[in-house]
Amino acid sequence: MSEDDLFRALADPTRRAIFEKLAAGSMNASVLREGMAISQPAMSQHLSVLRSAGLVREERQGRFVNYEVDPDGLTHIAQWLSKYRASWPARIDALKALLKDMDQ
Interface with a second copy (CB under 8 A): 3-4, 7-8, 10-11, 13, 16, 20, 23, 69, 71, 74-75, 77-78, 81, 83-84, 86-89, 91-92, 94-95, 97-99, 101-102
Using DSSP, state whether 26 is helix, strand or coil.
Answer: coil
* Cβ-contact 38, 14 below 8 angstroms: yes
Q: Give whichever of 63 and 83 is closer to a second copy, judged by the CB atom.
A: 83
- Compute CA distances 61 → 7, 65, 87, whole Å: 29, 6, 45
- From the list DNA, a second copy, none, partner contacted by residue 59 (C-beta under 5 to 8 A by kind): none
